[in-house]
Chains A and B, each alone.
Chain A
Amino acid sequence: MKFTEKEVEILELLENDCRLSAEQIAKMIELTEDETKQLIKNLEDQRIIVDYTAQINWGKVDGHEGVKAMIDVKVQPKRGVGFDEIASRIYRFKEVKSVYLMSGAYDLSIIIEGKSMSEIAQFVSDKLSTLDSVLSTTTHFILKKYKHDGTIFEQEDEDKRIVVSP
């Protein structure tokens, strides 16, 4: 799909900060507020803008630390539906946060979130491994999140400039 420069600019702005209002965006990209709202709506309708979420560093929230794992899954693709059917069976589980079809040593890369390691282990052994098409799984626990979706988690945003400069 081709998009205009203004549409791409809206996408970039919202990806960077989805709290921006249509009014603010309109001023920034020199459109009227109505035009901007319409463009945003079109982008939402086409599911180019899929969702508006916040990046939360749950690791810092007591009682919400949670555990994340990346799981490499080898599957047996099925005639006619390829990997899509098994992928959709997997992504419907609420524990599953992401599912990607991969090239290389395994087929699906899955990100799972749970309260504890045992909860994840149980999900893998009970739910995931027992699916018909799943041939094997390799679970990697994520120990620390440094950067996610372009956001550096421990970054200091301190302005190091002097207050007044030429």
Chain B
Amino acid sequence: MIEPSYYLSNIVQELKPSGIRKFFDLAAGMEGVISLGVGEPDFVTPWNVREACILSLEQGYTSYTANAGLIELRKEISHYLKNLTNIEYNPHNQVLVTVGGSQALDISLRAIVNPGDEVIVIEPSFVSYASLVTLAGGIPVPVQTTGDMEFKLQPEELEKAITEKTKAIILCSPNNPTGTCLNKKELEMIAEIIEKYDLLVISDEIYAELTYDEAYTSFVSIKGMEERTILVSGFSKGFAMTGWRLGYIAANPEFLNAMLKIHQYSMMCAPTMAQYAAIEAMKNGKEDVIHMKKSYRQRRNLFVGALNDIGLTCHVPGGAFYAFPSIQKTNLTSEEFAEQLLMEEKVAVVPGNVFGKSGEGFVRCSYASSLEQLQEAVRRMQRFVESRT
């Protein structure tokens, strides 16, 4: 008999499993659950995109692509980013197609982190950030934000967390799980600090398409930030293509070249058929994106209003498809709240603490669900909240 733990790497052994995983196990197998726990669109990938994938298979495009991805797709991404950020990324050496935004984050971090380097993670944050920093050999340094400030990063808090070892910060706007968007002025204040301390930024812009109230500002478009920013994005959220696992990185050629090395040794290239589908999404998907965005905004307005009406105070999230209401009035921890709500009312939400310490006292509710489901979920949540207050 061998002792597996003897062989496992220390880093992996010390890594905590995602809190979402734990909650998924709890909710899976239960019948009649209304799920507000999903971090993905409720739209199926638009048909023309699926059709493009089928066509690529019919035509026999089943072999590897260039490591960096199909040049046609990189050109489309470059064109798309020009419209979004006003920056012209050279598709030949500044764009890399990855296996989802997650791989994009992973290789971005692995390309820049030396053992012991600190990377600042703004909490509440997407569950992978801190762990990916750890896996890259770095040390994640959390910076808390608060519900009072609508979870907006306060520049002075950022500055306090910076040490000589700080290499980079990970920004995510619109944010998962809070839906918070940072506007141009707020990003400029962060940029000043980035410049002052000579840091890099990994800007996760996967929700860029989904902003509702203010025009979207990409961090790369802030003066002086283009060369310091590794832009990470993908097709999952805006184009409803989560299962396709297709993302990309745009950065200056030196960074990109380093990432390409990791990518070619570990992944070779992103799936070919998904890349053909993505070309179609970029070329002809704009109207679908606008349609989906409109629908999310309408549901946000209805759902966030309803949460506030039942006493779960919630700021109006400017983007993504998450509401992050406070559950403090129930005197339950976020985990207790989520667990009891699931068991008693069969509504799945994600406890805020899985997104970091500042998520405690909140739960993440995705409003990427049908109106009927959202309304029924609110009815059940109201019953639950009333029983606890």
Chain A positions within 8 Å of B, measured between CB atoms, are: 9, 12-13, 17, 20, 24, 27-30, 159-166
Contact = CB atoms under 8 A, between A and B. Distances in A.
A27 B300 CA distance: 9
Interface string B24-62: 100110100101011110101000000000000000000
B39 A166 contact: yes
B166 to A, nearest CB: 26
Interface residues of B, number: 31
A92 to B, nearest CB: 37
Contacts of A164: 20, 23-24, 27-28, 35, 37-38, 348, 350
A159 B35 CA distance: 10
A102 B144 CA distance: 64
Which 8 A-B residue pairs are closest in the complex by CB-CB distance?
A164-B37, A28-B298, A164-B24, A163-B27, A163-B35, A27-B302, A166-B39, A165-B39
B28 A163 contact: yes
B23 A28 contact: no
Nearest to A28: B298
A26 B49 CA distance: 33
B20 A165 contact: yes
A162 B28 contact: yes
A13 B33 contact: no
Given A162-B24, A164-B27, 16 more contacts: A27-B301, A28-B299, A29-B298, A29-B301, A159-B42, A159-B369, A161-B40, A163-B24, A163-B30, A164-B23, A164-B24, A165-B242, A166-B20, A166-B39, A166-B126, A166-B128
Nearest to B37: A164
A20 B350 CA distance: 29
Contacts of B371: 17, 20, 24
Contacts of B24: 162-165
Contacts of A160: 44
Contacts of B39: 165-166
Interface centre among B30, B301, B348 (most CB of A within 10 A): B301
Contact of B40 (A13, A17, A30, A165): A165
A163 B301 contact: no
Contacts of B44: 160
B20 A24 contact: no
Contacts of A162: 24, 28, 38
B18 interface: yes
Interface centre among A20, A29, A166 (most CB of B within 10 A): A166
B305 interface: yes
B301 A28 contact: yes
B40 A163 contact: no
A166 B23 contact: no
B81 interface: no
B294 interface: yes
Interface in B221-246: 242
Contacts of A166: 18, 20, 39, 126-128, 176
Given A166-B127, A166-B128, A161 B348 contact: no
Contacts of B42: 159, 161
A9 B212 CA distance: 15
Contacts of A13: 298
Contacts of B306: 27
Interface string B170-199: 000000100000000000000000000000
A163 B299 contact: no
Contacts of B30: 163
Contacts of B294: 9, 12
18 contacts: A12-B294, A24-B371, A27-B301, A28-B301, A29-B301, A162-B24, A163-B28, A163-B348, A164-B24, A164-B27, A164-B35, A164-B38, A164-B348, A165-B37, A165-B39, A166-B20, A166-B39, A166-B128
B99 to A, nearest CB: 15
A9 B299 CA distance: 13
Interface centre among A20, A28, A164 (most CB of B within 10 A): A164
A118 B298 CA distance: 48
Nearest to A16: B295
B280 to A, nearest CB: 21
Nearest to A160: B44
Nearest to B26: A164
B332 to A, nearest CB: 18
A9 B290 CA distance: 13
A119 to B, nearest CB: 37
Contacts of B350: 164
Nearest to B369: A159
Contacts of A12: 294
B342 to A, nearest CB: 9
B20 A30 contact: no
A161 B298 contact: no
Contact of A27 (B33, B128, B305): B305
A162 B42 CA distance: 11
Interface string B99-134: 000000000000000000000000000111000000
Interface centre among A17, A24, A27, A165 (most CB of B within 10 A): A165
A12 B287 CA distance: 14
